[in-house]
Structure 1
Amino acid sequence: MTTALSAALGPDVDASGLLDVVAEQPDPLIFATVSGAHLYGFPSRDSDVDLRGVHLLPVTALIGLREPEETRTRGGYLPGGVEMDLVTHDLRKFVRLMLRRNGYVLEQLLSPLVAHTSDAHAELVALAPAVLTSQHAHHYRGFAGTQWRLFEKTDELKPLLYTFRALLTGIHLMRSGEVQAHLPTLLGEVPEAPGYLPELIEAKAAAEHGAADVSVERVKDDVEALHAVLDEAQAGSALADAAGGLDALHDFVVRTRLDVAQG
């Protein structure tokens, strides 16, 4: 359990409860990290804990007639009554998602909020830079669009902050080649970030589904401007157009699976 994780969850969440969740899983976990609002830097007092990771199915689960359980979802509560949900993918599925310009799984893999790790986790982290491409801008552009439409329907602060977070993560990735999901950090990295975002982050801390006390027209203009900045950053990005590292990732998946099978 990392110091960063305990700090992000805060004193009201018993982070040690996550270790019990990890221990209860039927197959080994490569890693388990915290995603969602805690990773993004704007949790509320009533935010649930989004635990994400990778499990490793045995070889027998992949070579028989039954469909393998490539994705597992479990809900529950941590000590103290904090809601938690765990979603894990089998290693092969997770790596395939990495190769499909999926920024969400890369944020999970690279999250500093680590509940469980392993040597295989460290190796996969080291392989991650090869899959980063300028095409990941599409992921963040699309995610921001989905969250903006949700904001228009609900007028809630949460999807508005998700919109800004996605755009700023995409811009920073295009410019630096770094996956940075923490919105307060991004405010210091992306000069175009609107100056009122710290106030929105502070307001979000009071309630998970609170209303956004903002001028819709103002934030709409700022969101549209950031979309244009993301387009420009993608056009000028030094990242490759297509993911690399396929052979190394293939070898990693095979070796990791066989090591556990023989171990």
Structure 2
Amino acid sequence: MKKLILEKLKQIEVEHNVKVLFAVESGSRAWGFPSKDSDFDVRFVYVHEKDWYVSIDQKRDVIEYPINEMLDISGWDVRKALQLFAKSNPALLEWLRSPIVYYDQLTLSEDLRSIGNEILSKKACIYHYLHMARGNYRDYLQHEEVKIKKYFYVLRPLLACMWIETFQEIPPILFDELLKIDGLDELFLTEVMALLERKKQGEELDLEPRKKVLNDFIEDKLTYFENYVKGINESNTMDIEHLNKLFRKTLDQSWAK
């Protein structure tokens, strides 16, 4: 599959006259709990030639392809990516820390990883993860029988909120790593680890009676972080000129003769 993905990235470079800077896995495979039928969620950052950026017309700054049963692939232009990085965009921060890297050239990804925690907006990230958790909880885990695999899609963002509060840094991508936060209840951990083990063994987790200990945890953390995030006061401001220099360096390096 990696060979197919690399071939697709080369095709994208030719079709759009761009250079791919890095490409990673971003979905459940990167989080450590794929299903048997999980597709590959490939995300990438790319760069155009210099003249593309020197124009007065608005141009599309994303590349997307139709999703098929195996591959979901899309990317952002480097200028868009840097603008979002300045705002601590959680999706991009996760791409930069994905444990599954398909392609990486130049130094942009490493440059951004090295300053990610310095410019981290804890408020923006917690709001993002709260929105994700709240929506999935509302849609999938309210009935007596629930789509039990959806617990991971609620617990993961809530644990990410806990990580940010505890360590004041970007949370890890792997679900297992998030479970290393001190103070998690033993009964909660036992329930989660049992589900995780079933998932990793390839068992398809579908409708089952809801897990009270997990629902109680979710409701408690949703309430807590909805109040916690309102009290965050941040003074961190991104040095945009630093990102401008990274942008210009990337342009020079990408299209060097």
Tell me the CA shift for residue 229 of structure 1: 5.1
Where in structure 2 are the equivalents of 1:24-103 lying within 5 Å? 24-26=11-13, 27-64=18-55, 66-75=57-66, 83-103=70-90
Query: Structure 1, residues 204-255: CA drift from partner, whole Å, max 9, x if none?
Result: 45466x4242426543321022235546876898x95544332211221122
Q: 186-195 or 21-30, which moves further after superposition?
A: 186-195
Flag the 1:148–1:122 CA change in 2: closer, same or farther, 3 A: same
The range that moved more, 187-196 or 37-46, is 187-196
Distance in 2 between the 1:184 and 1:74 partners? 31
Read off the aligned partner of 1:91 and give its amino acid letter.
Answer: V
Equivalent runs, 1:158-237 vs 2, <5 Å: 158-176=149-167, 177-192=169-184, 194-195=188-189, 196-205=191-200, 206=202, 210-215=205-210, 217-228=212-223, 230=225
Runs (5+) with no aligned partner, structure 1: 1-13
CA distance in 1, matches of 2:203, 2:80: 35
Aligned-pair distance for 1:70? 0.7
CA distance in 2, matches of 1:190, 1:232: 21
Q: Summarize the Cα distance change of 1:158–1:130 in structure 2 as closer, same or farther, 3 Å threshold.
A: same
Alignment-derived partner of residue 254 in structure 2: 260
The more displaced of 21-30 and 32-41 is 21-30
Note closer, same or farther for the CA distance 1:254–1:174 as it changes in structure 2 (3 Å cut). Answer: farther
Taking a change above 3 Å as real, the CA distance of residues 42 and 84 of structure 1, as seen in their structure-2 partners, is same
**Kept after mapping to 2: 8 A contact 1:150/1:159:** no
Match of 1:15 in 2: 2
The equivalent of 2:135 in structure 1 is: 146
Distance in structure 2 (CA, Å) of the matches to 1:233 and 1:246: 28
Matched residues in 2 for 1:29 and 1:128: separation? 21
| Contact 1:141–1:167 (CA under 8 A) maintained in structure 2 | yes
> What is the aligned residue count?
244
SS in 1 for 2:37: coil
Distance change >3 Å, CA 64–CA 153, structure 1 → 2: farther
TM-score by length of 1: 0.80
Amino acid at match of 1:246: I
Work out the percentage of aligned pairs sharing the same amino acid.
Answer: 20
**2:115 matched to 1:127?**
yes
2:101 corresponds to: 114
Q: Is the 8 A contact 2:160 2:178 kept in 1?
A: yes
CA apart distance, 1:137: 1.4
Shift of 1:128: 1.9
| 3-state SS of paired residue (1:32) | strand
Structure 2 unaligned residues grouped into runs of 5+: none
Deviations 1:54-77, CA, capped at 9 Å, x for gaps:
011223223335532311112466
In structure 1, the partner of 2:244 is: 250
